């Protein structure tokens, strides 16, 4: 029998208390934090939607796997369990474990990129961009044009602009492009999926120019679920099989196990090229550790191995994607502009559209994120001009979009938590005219969103 309500395919086994704060406490906390939500104490946050990274609830079987972890320095059985679980979905020749995704990025880009080179991506995540730029190379985003129109519905808004990729490779030449990256799902572009058809087309262009293709695969399972739901001819395929096809189209991947594998820490780099693998392993030993643990404890490797099995479960993915959409539906009903259609791991509020009185260089996304915290203790994350508006030379420009991401940790919050978030957002939207811009009073040279401080503009 089919019912309309899609339930959580689990029940709660252990609970964590949430601390309710007063309006005055939150007002004081955000001022002390310089209006930067990263500087808040997590105990001053009620519903924490800052990120879906490492914040998911592990399963009973993952906690059991933690107990099973073997901490041998070299050749631990936990390493072999991890390797088998990774290869089951991503059968690359070499798997190099790292403590999280950005460590894999740092190692790979150190090995392949440098000044004068350019790395295209559908849209770089902030750490990916920073790691490319740190080598002196240029990070270029090539999303399809539809991706830049938040209100526009498109089943695969994460797709790469294949014609633009071909043009870039023609203009710059294959030697200037050490790799092409496709991020699944496209996090900075709204958690939107990439179709198999698009991946195949990107692969064909990479083949024509002899350039390797890499996946930034953090949210591979959510991407594969969207392919199953939306791509013609894919509706009867197991998600694991779709994932294997995605992997078969690439020459390697970087991965954060803190996302779809529902672990609290971990990542890996995988490649087919033997010589590249050797260069990367040499770098791994410098900063991460021996190649059979790479910055992780044996117990972490086992939690990831178990999480990978759970990540491709259809009942879990159906619930996961529906629960994100459920929040999106509530916001649409409240008249709040969001990136459409709703993505996999997060809802993205269009702050530029909601707050037209605040110009991009007064950071409408940051203003909205601060307002959501002050109103109801909900912590989201600006993805806009604060995150992407600072050029390497220190000048500023508006980012393509000013969004606030409400990322949903996996299996962590219940439907009533999400109903509450919807109510907080609706209340803030009702008094949008009262909100004013912010000015930066301190910023570091790179990744400024983590530590910048702000003050409120009057007017």
Residue 159 or 183: which CB sits closer to ligand F0G? Answer: 183
Does 410 participate in binding ligand F0G (rule CB under 6 A)?
A: no
The least distance separating ligand F0G from the CB of residue 434, rounded to whole angstroms, comes to 29
Site string for ligand F0G, 85-104 (x = CB under 6 A): ---------------xxx--
Does 258 participate in binding ligand F0G (rule CB under 6 A)?
A: yes
User: What are the beta bridge partners of residue 253?
Assistant: 215, 270
Residue 62 or 100: which CB sits closer to ligand F0G? Answer: 100
Does 62 participate in binding ligand F0G (rule CB under 6 A)?
A: no
Residue of minimal CB distance from ligand F0G? 101
Does 135 participate in binding ligand F0G (rule CB under 6 A)?
A: no
Residue 293 or 358: which CB sits closer to ligand F0G? Answer: 293
Residue 85 or 253: which CB sits closer to ligand F0G? Answer: 253
Residue 21 or 258: which CB sits closer to ligand F0G? Answer: 258
Residue 62 or 256: which CB sits closer to ligand F0G? Answer: 256
Which residue is associated with the tokens 């203009």?
A: 171
Does 78 participate in binding ligand F0G (rule CB under 6 A)?
A: no
Does 187 participate in binding ligand F0G (rule CB under 6 A)?
A: yes
Does 192 participate in binding ligand F0G (rule CB under 6 A)?
A: no
**Among 191, 267, 291, 389, which residue sits at the site for ligand F0G (rule: CB under 6 A)?**
267
Residues in touch with ligand F0G (CB under 6 A): 51, 53, 100-102, 125, 127-128, 183, 187, 216, 218, 256, 258, 267
């Amino acid at each position: 029998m089919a019912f309309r309500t899609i339930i959580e395919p689990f029940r709660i086994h252990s609970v964590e208390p949430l601390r309710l704060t007063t309006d005055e406490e939150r007002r004081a906390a955000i001022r002390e934090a310089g209006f930067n939500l990263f500087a808040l104490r997590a105990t001053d946050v009620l519903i924490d939607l800052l990120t879906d990274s490492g914040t998911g609830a592990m399963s009973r079987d993952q906690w059991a796997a933690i107990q099973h972890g073997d901490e041998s320095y070299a050749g631990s059985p936990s390493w072999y369990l991890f390797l088998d679980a990774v290869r089951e979905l991503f059968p690359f020749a070499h798997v190099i474990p790292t403590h999280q995704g950005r460590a894999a990025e740092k190692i790979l880009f150190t090995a392949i990129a440098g000044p004068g080179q350019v790395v295209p991506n559908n849209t770089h995540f902030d750490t990916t961009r920073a790691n490319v730029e740190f080598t002196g190379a240029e990070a270029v985003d090539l999303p399809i044009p539809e991706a830049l129109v938040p209100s526009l519905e498109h089943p695969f808004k994460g797709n790469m602009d294949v014609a633009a990729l071909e043009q870039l490779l023609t203009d710059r030449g294959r030697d200037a492009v050490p790799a092409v990256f496709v991020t699944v799902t496209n996090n900075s572009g709204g958690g939107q999926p990439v179709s198999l058809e698009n991946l195949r087309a990107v692969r064909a262009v990479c083949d024509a120019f002899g350039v390797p293709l890499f996946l930034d695969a953090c949210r591979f399972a959510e991407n594969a679920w969207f392919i199953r739901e939306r791509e013609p001819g894919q509706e009867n395929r197991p998600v694991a099989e779709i994932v294997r096809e995605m992997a078969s189209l690439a020459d390697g991947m970087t991965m954060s196990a803190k996302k779809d594998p529902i672990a609290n820490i971990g990542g890996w780099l995988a490649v087919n090229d033997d010589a590249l693998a050797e260069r990367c392993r040499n770098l791994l030993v410098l900063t991460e550790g021996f190649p059979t643990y790479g910055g992780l404890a044996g117990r972490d490797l086992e939690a990831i191995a178990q999480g990978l099995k759970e990540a491709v479960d259809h009942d879990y993915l159906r619930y996961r994607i529906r629960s994100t959409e459920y929040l999106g539906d509530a916001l649409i009903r409240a008249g709040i502009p969001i990136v459409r259609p709703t993505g996999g791991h997060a809802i993205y509020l269009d702050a530029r559209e909601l707050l037209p009185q605040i110009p991009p260089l007064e950071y409408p996304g940051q203003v909205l994120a601060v307002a959501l915290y002050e109103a109801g203790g909900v912590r989201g994350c600006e993805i806009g001009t604060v995150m992407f508006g600072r050029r390497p030379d220190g000048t500023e420009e508006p980012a393509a979009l000013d969004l606030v991401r409400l990322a949903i940790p996996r299996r962590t919050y219940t439907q009533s938590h999400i109903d509450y978030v919807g109510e907080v957002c609706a209340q803030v939207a009702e008094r949008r005219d009262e909100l004013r811009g912010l000015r930066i009073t301190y910023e570091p040279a790179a990744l400024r969103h983590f530590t910048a401080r702000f003050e409120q503009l009057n007017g």
